[in-house]
């Protein structure tokens, strides 16, 4: 029994000794690596310093010359032209990617097509505007929400494409003006024979409705004036006036209020439908400082150092392996 205990004690001492040696070896390796790193810096101090300065100088130059500006145009597509709008933006973006300057200059009408980097469009998620005064849209959202996550549904492409407002964003390498960028793009988007015909008939229908509603409002006013005059005569004769329930006076007044409200909406609609793709707002020349834009003076020095160190390590590795292969 004592022999087994002594053996276990010896084994534990051996294990602790090995662990101690491994820990000591680990710290020794770290010390050696640090020392080699110091020697490397000492041998290559001039090269490292030169690369660092070169990276700073080159980064400052590129930050000044290679600028990027973001622009955004909020629009509303009328007459069911949402899919048409998205397909046109995709076409423009593909032409920018292909560097098709002939299309961008002659068809799109951009004066400086080479400064364009990209263009994209996305819906502005506004579910409240989507269901505002539209009972069918509200019921549609409720129906979809029963089968899934409402947050996911309102951001899905099928739903979000039907939102009234959409953001067209594009980037340029120089400052842009509304005349030279936004106006040509919107002119191109509004150039559609099909939707121009629909627009014409749509506006005519609105104008007809306005005239008809004005006529109905005039008739209601005449009816109310007649009742008022009869009431005044009765009061002058000291008689009480009783309005029969069949006259539905409250309904008449309510109908007039609804028509007046509708007339206001129709006139606003005429303003919003004067274009196929209606411009709502424009934001230009927001300097892009995302990613490494404007930060090259900080990025390039460390990038050059990383490349130099990587090349040095690769060369050292290659030489060691070459030496080993010669010994075999």
CATH number of 180's domain: 3.30.70
In a domain, 154, yes or no: yes
The verdict on 155 and 113 lying in the same domain is yes
Burial class (CB in 10 A: 0-12, 13-18, 19+), 110: buried
- Alpha-carbon span 73 to 190, nearest angstrom: 14
Position 140 scores a pLDDT of 60
The verdict on 161 and 34 lying in the same domain is no
The verdict on 163 and 281 lying in the same domain is yes
pLDDT exceeds cutoff 60 at 239 = no
Which of 161, 30, 145, 36 is CA-nearest to residue 87?
161
How many domains in the chain? 3
The verdict on 257 and 179 lying in the same domain is no
Position 194 scores a pLDDT of 94
In a domain, 298, yes or no: no
The verdict on 282 and 179 lying in the same domain is yes
In a domain, 297, yes or no: no
Domain that holds residue 212: 199-272
In a domain, 150, yes or no: yes
Which of 109, 269, 284, 101 is CA-nearest to residue 189?
109
Confidence of residue 155 (pLDDT cuts 50, 70, 90): low
- Alpha-carbon span 155 to 64, nearest angstrom: 39
- Alpha-carbon span 216 to 218, nearest angstrom: 5
The verdict on 283 and 160 lying in the same domain is yes
Higher pLDDT, 21 or 198: 198
The verdict on 160 and 280 lying in the same domain is yes
The verdict on 283 and 185 lying in the same domain is yes
The verdict on 177 and 208 lying in the same domain is no
Stated pTM of the model: 0.67
Position 313 scores a pLDDT of 79
The verdict on 111 and 178 lying in the same domain is yes
Tokens, residue 192 = 């559609």
pLDDT per position as a tens digit, 198-223: 999 999 999 999 999 888 888 888 87
- Alpha-carbon span 98 to 117, nearest angstrom: 11
**For residue 211, which phi and psi values (nearest 5 degrees)?**
-65, -45
In a domain, 296, yes or no: no
The verdict on 131 and 154 lying in the same domain is yes
Confidence of residue 26 (pLDDT cuts 50, 70, 90): low
Q: Which residue has the tokens 């407002």?
A: 165
The verdict on 103 and 117 lying in the same domain is yes
In a domain, 293, yes or no: no
């Amino acid at each position: 029994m004592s022999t087994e205990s002594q053996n276990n004690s010896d084994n534990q001492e051996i294990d602790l000794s090995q662990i101690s040696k491994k820990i000591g070896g680990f710290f020794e390796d770290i010390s050696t690596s640090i020392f080699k790193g110091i020697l490397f810096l000492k041998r290559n101090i001039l090269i490292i310093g030169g690369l660092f300065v070169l990276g700073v100088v080159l980064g400052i130059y590129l930050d000044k010359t290679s600028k990027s500006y973001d622009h955004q145009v909020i629009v509303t597509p009328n007459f069911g032209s949402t899919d048409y709008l998205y397909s046109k933006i995709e076409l423009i973006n593909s032409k920018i990617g292909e560097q098709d300057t002939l299309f961008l200059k002659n068809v799109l009408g951009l004066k400086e097509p080479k400064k364009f980097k990209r263009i994209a469009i996305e819906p502005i998620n506004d579910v409240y505007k989507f269901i505002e005064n539209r009972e069918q849209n509200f019921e549609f959202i409720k129906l979809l929400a029963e089968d899934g996550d409402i947050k996911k549904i309102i951001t899905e492409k099928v739903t979000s494409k039907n939102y009234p407002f959409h953001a067209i964003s594009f980037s340029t390498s120089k400052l842009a003006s509304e005349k030279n960028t936004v106006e040509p793009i919107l002119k191109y988007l509004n150039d559609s024979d099909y939707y121009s015909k629909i627009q014409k008939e749509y506006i005519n229908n609105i104008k007809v409705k306005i005239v008809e509603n004005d006529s109905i409002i005039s008739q209601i006013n005449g009816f109310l004036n007649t009742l008022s005059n009869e009431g005044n005569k009765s009061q002058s004769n000291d008689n009480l006036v009783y309005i029969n329930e069949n006259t539905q006076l409250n309904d008449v007044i309510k109908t007039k209020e609804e028509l007046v409200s509708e007339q206001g909406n129709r006139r606003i609609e005429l303003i919003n439908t004067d274009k196929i793709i209606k411009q709502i707002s424009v934001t230009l020349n927001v300097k892009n400082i995302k990613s490494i834009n404007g930060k090259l003076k900080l990025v390039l020095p460390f990038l050059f150092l990383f490349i130099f160190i990587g090349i040095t390590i690769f060369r050292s590795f290659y030489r060691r392996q070459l030496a080993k292969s010669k010994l075999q």
